[in-house]
C-alpha cells in the first residue's frame, strides 16, 4: 500500500480524546470518532481489527467452535421470559420500534436468542456438545462512554456459547477455553500482563473468570497473587481475602482492564426458555451452558495502552496493520520503488511511504506514530553504500544495515 | 467438516416462509428467522455469505477501493443539515435514544457520515480521488418485510463512496464500477440474468443505474432491450419508451430483483455538509461524489431464486459453502474416512456426511437440498469396484466413476 494514496492522514497534534488509546488511534488515522462512545474504523484500524479477529477465530475453531452470526434486532419475547427485558434489570438497553409500534431491542448480549435458536436445532444427546460463536455488533447504552475504545456504545464482540450434556462435559470445555484465551492474549502481545482473575460465579458455579490486563488506565481493581500469577476481583476479595489457589493472603491491589470473561451459566437459560434434549436413557434434560466473551476493539485499545511509548503506537507482530514500513527518503527513491515491487511479487504487502512532498523528519515521526514493527529506510546514504537501513519499532529503532542484495531474504525471514 | 458435528440440521418438510429463498435456506439449515425481516446466519449460511463478500471485496480492491467500517449509531446533526433526518424524508429510519434523551439513528445508508468523515481527511487535490467502501449493517424499518432475504429490516450492505476532483474523473470511475459489478454478478453465477438498467439520475445526472436480475420473484418491473442486453426501469419508461442505447421502442416487460445500484451524487452532499478541497489553482472546490451498493444477503437470495430446482439449492462454484460433498454410504465408510483425510492434508475442506444413523436416501436428499456443486458417493459397490462415484449438482447428478487411485488428482482439478 502506497502511503500517498492511503485514506486518512496522521495529525500533527494529538487530538483531545479520553484515553491514550483513542488519542493515538485518532492521531495516527486508525479510527474516527462519530460521537461519544461511537467510533468508525478507518483502513489502518480495520486491518488491525481484522488481524485480532483472525487470531481469536483460529483459537475458537481449534477448540471446536463453529462460527455463525445472529441479528442485532431483538424480539422482546425470550428476554421477557428470562426477566432481562426490563431496563431495571439490564440498564444499558437500546430499544426502538417497528412501524406497527412493536418494541424491539438492539442486542447487548445473545444468551436468549442463542438458547432460543437451539430449540430448533437440537433434540438428542447426539447433537451435543455444541460450541457456537460469532463476531457480532453489540449496542450498550452506557451512561458515560469513556476511555476511547475501552468503553463504547457500539462494538463488535466475539461471544461464544457452549451447550454441554452435563456438568463434567461443561467443565472440560470451560478449561479448554481458559487455555485458548491464554493463547489469544499471548498472540496479541499482552499475555504477560493478562491474569486469570476469579470473579463471582452466580448461582451455578463457585467462580466465573475474567482475564484482566494489569494497566493503570483500567477501570477495574484486582488483587494479584504474585506466587500463582492469578488474581481475584473486588467481589471476591470482599468474601475471601486469600488467593483461591495457594491461600496466600497478602494480595497486591492493581488497576486492570477486563479483556475477556468466561462464565458458567448452568441451566438457567435452558430452563427458562424450555431448551431440552433427550439423553441416552430417553429422558428430557437441560443442557449446561457457558458464555465466553472478548471484544476485539477493547483488546486493540489495551495493546496500545500497554505497549505505546512517547512517540506513538508499538504494534506487536501478529496484530500490526503491515509487517514492514518502507520509508523512501531523498536519493533512495529508485531503491524504494524496486524493493516495494520485489516484495509485492513475493506476496508481501507493506506500507510504503512514497510521499514526494513530505520531509524526512515528518516521515520518521509518522512511522513512529503508526507503529509498524519493522522499518526500512532508504536514502542517498544507503544508495551509495548499496545497503538498506533496518530497525525495529519495539527496540527504539536501533539501526542495522543490510546489503541490498541480501535485503529480500532478510525481510522474508524477519516479518 | 463432518456433518455429524455440523451445527444445524436440515428439516424434512419445507417451513412456511415468504419466498423460495428463505424456504430453502431455512430448510437446509443456512439461516434462522428471528422475526419478520430479521434473519441470523448459521454456519453454512455464513460460509456462503463470506464467499460472496470475498468476491465483492476483490473486485472493489481491484478498482482502487479502500475498506473501512463506519458505525451504525448515527449522530442526527449531518442528517438534519441534508434534510434527511425527518421520518417524512426517509420513512424507514429506526431511531433510539441515549440515556440523556439525545435521539440517535441506526444507519440505513452512509452518505452523510462518509461526507462528514472526509472533512477531517482531505484538504488538497493531492488527496483525491478517494474510493472508500465497507461491509456494514444497515437497519431499515420496512413497513412490510417480505420475500425472505430479499427485503429485510437488518442486512449487511457493501456501500462504496467515490470522491473525485471533477466530473470527468468521476465519470471514468463510474464506468469502472459498472465493469466491476458485471464481474461480480458473473462470478456469483447470475451474470447472464443480470442487466444494466437505466434509472432516474436525480438532479446531477441524466441517469443512475441499477443491476436487475430477471426473476419472477422480483419486486421490480423492468423493460428489456433484447438487442442491447440492457433495460430501463419504470421511472424511465414513463419518460421515454425507447432503449437509451439503440432507441429501439418495443421493450419487453419483465419482473426483476435489484441486486445492485450505482448512483452519481454530484456535489449535493459536499455542498450541504461543507466538504471542500483546494484545487491546483488554490481554489476551494467540492468533490464530485458517487455511491455504489450491493447487498450480499440479497445476492445470496437471488442466486437461489434463479438457480434452485425442485430438490433444493444449486450453488455456483464460487459461492458454495464447500466445493465437495462426500457421502459415506454403507460399506464405503473406510474409503470415505481415508479420502476425507487425504483431502484435508491437501488443505481442501469438504462437507463429509459421516452420519452413522442416517439412511442413504436421507443423505442423498440432504445433499440435493444443501446444493454443493460436486458430490462424491462411496458405498459397498464403489468399494468393491475400487472407484468413487462423482456427480455434479447442476447436472442433475449424472454419475461418473473414477478409479480410487485417480480420485485425489481428479478432485483437485475439478473444484
Structural domain spans, chain A? 20-307, 322-414
Distance from CA of A263 to the nearest CA of B (A): 22
- Convert the pLDDT of each residue in B287-321 to its tens digit: 999 999 999 999 999 999 999 999 999 999 999 99
pLDDT range class, residue B93, cuts 50, 70, 90: very high
Residue in chain A nearest B118 by alpha carbon: A8
* pLDDT of residue B191 exceeding 80: yes
Q: Is B34 close to A142, i.e. CB distance below 8 A?
A: no
Question: What is the reported pLDDT for B415?
Answer: 84
* Listed residue (A73, A55, A211, A181) closest to A137, CA to CA: A73
At A298, is the pLDDT very low, low, confident or very high (cuts 50, 70, 90)? very high
A154 in contact with B, Cβ within 8 Å? yes
Other C-beta atoms lying within 10 Å of the C-beta of residue B310: 5
Which chain B residues are within 8 Å of A121, Cβ to Cβ?
A: 7-9, 29
Q: With contacts defined as CB-CB under 8 Å, which chain B residues touch A52? A: none
A259-277: per-residue pLDDT in tens?
A: 999 999 999 999 999 999 9
Enumerate the residues of chain B whose CB falls inside 8 A of the CB of residue A46. Answer: 67-69
The pTM is what? 0.97
CA nearest to B46 within chain A: A68
Contact at CB, B68 and A75, closer than 8 angstroms: no
Question: Least CB-CB distance to B71: which of A40, A66, A113?
Answer: A40
pLDDT of residue A396 exceeding 80, the answer is no
Tell which B residues from 15 to 54 touch A, by Cβ distance under 8 Å. 29, 32, 34-35, 38-43, 45-46, 49
For B9, the closest chain A residue by CA position comes to A121
Q: What pLDDT is stored for residue B396 in this prediction?
A: 78
Query: B67, A46: Cβ pair inside 8 Å?
Result: yes
Over 80: is that where the pLDDT of A203 sits?
no
Q: What is the pLDDT of residue B397?
A: 75
DSSP string for A35-88: ETTEEEEPHHHHHHHHHHHHHHHHHHHHTT-EE-B--SEEEHHHHHHTT--STT
A38 to chain B: which residues are within 8 Å by CB? 71, 73, 75
**Residues A211 and A196 sit within 8 Å (Cβ to Cβ):** yes
Query: Do the chains contact at A71 and B38, CB–CB below 8 Å?
Result: yes
A90 at interface of B, judged by CB pairs closer than 8 A: no
Query: Which position has the grid cell 437461489?
Result: B304
pLDDT of B259 above 90: yes
Dist. CA B17–CA B26, nearest whole Å: 8
Grid cell listed for B169? 474523473
- Chain B residues near residue A104 by CB distance under 8 angstroms: 35
CB contact under 8 A, B7 and A132: yes
pLDDT for position A398: 86
Largest alpha-carbon pair distance within chain A? 81
How close B105 gets to chain A, by Cα (Å)?
A: 10
Q: Report how far residue A389's alpha carbon sits from residue A152's, in angstroms, rounded to the nearest whole number.
A: 41
Cβ atoms of A95 and B96 within 8 Å: the answer is yes
Query: Cβ contact (<8 Å) for A69 and B75?
Result: no
Burial call B26-64: b when 16+ CB within 10 Å, e when fewer:
bbbbbbbbbbbbbbbbbbbbbbbbbbbbebbbebbeebe
| H helix and E strand count, chain B | 12, 21
Architecture of the A322-414 domain:
3-Layer(aba) Sandwich (3.40)
- Judged against a pLDDT cut of 80, whether residue A204 lies above it is answered with no
Sorting pLDDT into bands at 50, 70 and 90, what band is A202?
A: confident
Q: Are strands B194-200 and B207-214 parallel, antiparallel or unpaired?
A: antiparallel
Chain A closest CA to B292's CA: distance in Å?
18
Q: How confident is the model at residue B203 (pLDDT cuts 50, 70, 90)?
A: confident
Triad A188, A35, A96: Cα angle to 5°? 100
Distance CA(A312)–CA(B92), nearest Å, equals 43
Residue of chain B whose alpha carbon sits nearest to that of A36: B75
Q: What is the pLDDT of residues B70-84, one digit of tens each?
A: 999 999 999 999 999
Query: Best residue in B4, B78, B96 to probe A by mutation, most A CBs within 10 Å?
Result: B96
- Please tell me which residue of chain A has the smallest CA distance to B155: A71
* Cβ-defined contact of A139 to B66 (cutoff 8 Å): no
CATH superfamily of the domain spanning A20-307: Bira Bifunctional Protein; Domain 2 (3.30.930.10)
Smallest Cα distance from A240 to chain B, Å: 36
Contact B34 A71 (CB under 8 A): yes
Chain A: nearest CA to B42, how far in angstroms? 5
Check: CB of residue A60 under 8 Å from CB of residue A180: yes
Q: Check A153 against B94: CB less than 8 A apart.
A: no
Q: How far apart are CA B141 and CA A138, in angstroms?
A: 19
Q: Does A397 score more than 80 pLDDT? A: no
ipTM of the complex as predicted: 0.96
Amino acid at each position: 500500500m502506497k502511503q500517498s494514496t492511503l485514506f486518512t492522514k496522521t495529525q500533527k497534534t494529538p487530538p483531545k480524546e479520553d484515553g491514550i488509546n483513542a488519542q493515538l488511534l485518532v492521531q495516527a488515522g486508525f479510527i474516527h470518532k462519530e460521537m461519544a462512545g461511537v467510533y468508525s474504523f478507518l483502513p489502518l484500524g480495520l486491518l488491525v481489527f481484522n488481524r485480532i479477529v483472525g487470531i481469536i477465530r483460529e483459537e475458537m475453531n481449534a477448540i471446536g467452535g463453529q462460527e455463525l452470526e445472529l441479528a442485532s434486532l431483538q424480539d422482546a419475547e425470550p428476554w421477557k421470559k428470562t426477566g432481562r427485558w426490563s431496563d431495571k434489570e439490564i440498564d444499558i438497553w437500546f430499544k426502538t420500534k417497528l412501524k406497527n409500534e412493536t418494541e424491539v431491542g438492539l442486542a447487548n448480549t445473545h444468551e436468549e436468542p442463542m438458547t432460543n435458536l437451539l430449540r430448533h436445532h437440537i433434540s438428542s444427546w447426539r447433537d451435543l456438545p455444541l460450541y457456537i460463536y460469532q463476531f457480532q455488533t453489540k449496542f450498550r447504552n452506557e451512561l458515560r462512554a469513556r476511555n476511547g475504545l475501552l468503553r463504547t456504545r457500539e462494538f463488535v464482540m466475539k461471544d461464544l456459547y457452549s451447550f454441554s450434556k452435563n456438568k463434567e462435559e461443561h467443565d472440560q470445555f470451560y478449561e479448554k477455553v481458559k487455555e485458548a484465551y491464554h493463547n489469544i492474549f499471548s498472540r496479541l502481545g499482552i499475555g504477560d500482563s493478562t491474569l486469570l482473575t476469579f470473579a463471582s460465579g452466580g448461582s451455578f458455579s463457585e467462580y466465573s473468570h475474567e482475564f484482566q490486563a494489569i494497566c493503570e488506565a483500567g477501570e477495574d481493581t484486582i488483587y494479584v497473587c504474585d506466587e500463582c500469577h492469578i488474581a481475584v476481583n473486588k467481589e471476591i476479595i470482599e468474601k475471601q481475602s486469600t488467593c483461591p489457589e495457594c491461600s496466600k493472603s497478602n494480595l497486591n491491589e492493581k488497576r486492570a482492564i477486563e479483556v475477556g470473561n468466561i462464565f458458567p451459566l448452568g441451566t438457567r437459560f435452558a430452563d427458562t426458555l424450555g431448551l431440552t434434549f433427550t439423553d441416552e436413557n430417553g429422558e428430557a434434560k437441560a443442557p449446561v451452558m457457558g458464555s465466553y466473551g472478548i471484544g476485539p476493539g477493547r483488546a486493540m485499545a489495551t495493546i496500545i495502552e500497554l505497549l505505546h511509548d512517547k512517540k506513538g503506537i508499538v504494534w506487536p507482530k501478529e496484530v500490526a496493520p503491515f509487517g514492514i514500513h518502507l520509508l523512501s527518503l531523498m536519493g533512495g527513491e529508485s531503491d524504494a520503488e524496486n524493493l516495494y515491487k520485489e516484495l509485492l511479487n513475493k506476496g508481501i504487502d507493506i506500507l510504503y511511504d512514497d510521499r514526494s512532498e513530505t520531509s524526512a523528519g515528518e516521515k520518521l515521526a509518522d512511522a513512529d506514530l503508526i507503529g509498524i514493527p519493522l522499518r526500512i529506510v532508504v536514502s542517498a546514504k544507503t544508495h551509495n553504500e548499496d545497503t538498506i537501513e533496518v530497525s525495529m519499532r519495539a527496540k527504539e529503532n536501533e539501526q542495522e544495515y543490510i546489503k541490498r542484495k541480501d535485503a529480500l531474504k532478510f525481510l522474508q525471514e524477519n516479518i
